[in-house]
């Protein structure tokens, strides 16, 4: 009886060891998309009043967990019984990401930039609705990126047992959510941490200098993340098209992959924005962004 119990423990230990190895490989292969996920979500989690930053981030994080809970079993089932559906979902998601990225570029160049006091007044006036809309947009974007992460992770263990597939994909999904949103939380609270260091040190010494550095660095980091996040959306979208549509995969073979992916993502985004603008004009709809 005791030997049987220890044999079970030994099997569990061996399984966990296998999961650690496969999860490490899968995480390494998803590193690029995780970096894009971080840049996109850090940019989306900013622009709120200081008191609302963490509640908003927590709402997005919960949405991300729900996304993973939905995506992981569906991805495993589709991979087993209807693998072509995964490509269709990825391509549709690619159009959404491309739309998100190109819309930001269009808005930057063709819409008047709001002054700081206008943004604050808008947040105070329509704070709840604007907050909900931004959370919804962030969770939707996270859903598409999560699909990509789960599919890549699943692709690394297709030859393994079903148990190992389930555990590996689940571990990667969990690490992706905790890791990405943990770092995002640190970024959006940099200024508050800086102010506290300045206050506690009496604005003197090394801690005060560190505090000032954190406060001054945050706007720069946010601007960088806004640019990187927008480019990441377009690149991820282009990468989805190149890797899942045979025609695009073999088109423009002389171009570096990153340039080809950006071109396809940008073209798809422009088409999606044009279509969305036409639909909004016909039906008189207002943008939620």
**CB neighbours of residue 42 within 10 Å:** 25
Is the distance from CB of 22 to CB of 160 less than 8 angstroms? yes
Q: Is the pLDDT of residue 37 over 80?
A: no
Question: Cα(85)–Cα(278) distance, rounded to whole angstroms?
Answer: 29
Q: What is the pLDDT of residue 8?
A: 61
Token pair 């919960």 in the structure block, residue: 62
Question: Cα(72)–Cα(44) distance, rounded to whole angstroms?
Answer: 24
* Rounded percentage of the chain residues whose pLDDT exceeds 70: 76
Question: Cα(225)–Cα(97) distance, rounded to whole angstroms?
Answer: 16
Q: Which of 88-102, 161-175, 257-271 has the highest mean pLDDT?
A: 257-271
The stretch 70-90 carries a mean pLDDT of 85
Q: What is the pLDDT of residue 271?
A: 93
pLDDT confidence of 233, banded at 50, 70, 90? confident
Rounded to 5 degrees, φ, ψ at 30 are -95, 5
Q: What is the pLDDT of residue 124?
A: 53
Question: Cα(180)–Cα(159) distance, rounded to whole angstroms?
Answer: 28
Q: What mean pLDDT, rounded, does the chain reach?
A: 78
Question: Cα(284)–Cα(264) distance, rounded to whole angstroms?
Answer: 29
Backbone torsion region of residue 276, taken as left when φ is above 0, otherwise alpha when ψ lies between -120 and 50, otherwise beta = alpha
Is the distance from CB of 158 to CB of 150 less than 8 angstroms? no
Pairs from 205-211 (Cβ < 8 Å, separation ≥ 24): none
Element (H, E) at 259: helix 257-283
pLDDT tens by residue, 173-199 = 888 888 888 888 888 788 888 888 888
Q: Is the pLDDT of residue 10 over 70?
A: no
Rounded to 5 degrees, φ, ψ at 253 are -65, -20
Angle at 188 between CA 184 and CA 192, to 5 degrees: 140
User: What single-letter DSSP state applies at residue 114?
Assistant: P
> What angle separates helix 31-44 from helix 116-155, to the nearest 10 degrees?
160
CB-count exposure of residue 62 (10 Å: 0-12, 13-18, 19+): middle
Is the distance from CB of 266 to CB of 98 less than 8 angstroms? yes
**CB neighbours of residue 133 within 10 Å:** 14
Q: Which of 4-8, 74-78, 267-271 has the highest mean pLDDT?
A: 267-271
Distant-in-sequence, close-in-space partners of 128: CB < 8 Å, separation ≥ 6 = none
pLDDT confidence of 18, banded at 50, 70, 90? low
Q: What is the pLDDT of residue 89?
A: 83
Give me the torsion for CA of 47, 48, 51, 52, rounded to 10°: -130
Q: What is the pLDDT of residue 53?
A: 75
pLDDT confidence of 38, banded at 50, 70, 90? confident
pLDDT tens by residue, 86-140 = 788 888 888 888 898 898 888 888 765 555 555 555 545 555 777 788 888 888 8
Question: Cα(195)–Cα(189) distance, rounded to whole angstroms?
Answer: 10
Q: Is the pLDDT of residue 217 over 90?
A: no
Q: What is the pLDDT of residue 270?
A: 93
């Amino acid at each position: 009886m005791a030997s049987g119990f220890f044999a079970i423990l030994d099997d569990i230990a061996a399984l966990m060891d296998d999961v650690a190895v496969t999860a490490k490989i899968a995480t390494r292969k998803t590193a690029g998309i995780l970096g894009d996920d971080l840049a996109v979500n850090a940019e989306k989690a900013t622009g709120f009043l200081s008191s609302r930053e963490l509640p908003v981030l927590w709402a997005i994080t919960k949405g991300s967990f729900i996304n993973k809970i939905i995506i992981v079993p569906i991805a495993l089932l589709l991979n087993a019984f209807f693998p072509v559906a995964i490509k269709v979902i990825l391509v549709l998601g690619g159009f959404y990401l491309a739309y998100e990225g190109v819309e930001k570029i269009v808005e930057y160049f063709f819409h008047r930039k709001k002054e700081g006091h206008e943004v604050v007044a808008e947040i105070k006036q329509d704070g709840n609705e604007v907050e909900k809309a931004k959370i919804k947009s962030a969770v939707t974007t996270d859903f598409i990126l999560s699909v990509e992460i789960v599919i890549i992770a699943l692709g690394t263990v297709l030859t393994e047992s079903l148990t190992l597939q389930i555990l590996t994909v689940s571990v990667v999904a969990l690490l992706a959510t905790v890791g990405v949103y943990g770092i995002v939380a640190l970024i959006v609270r940099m200024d508050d941490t800086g102010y506290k260091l300045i206050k506690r040190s009496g604005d003197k010494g090394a801690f005060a200098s560190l505090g000032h550095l954190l406060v001054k660095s945050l706007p720069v980091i946010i601007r960088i993340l806004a640019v990187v996040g927008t480019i990441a959306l377009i690149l991820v979208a282009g990468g989805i098209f190149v890797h899942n549509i045979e025609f695009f995969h073999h088109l423009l073979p002389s171009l570096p992959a990153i340039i080809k992916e950006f071109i396809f993502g940008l073209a798809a985004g422009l088409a999606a924005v044009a279509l969305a603008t036409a639909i909004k004009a016909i039906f008189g709809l207002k943008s939620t962004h």
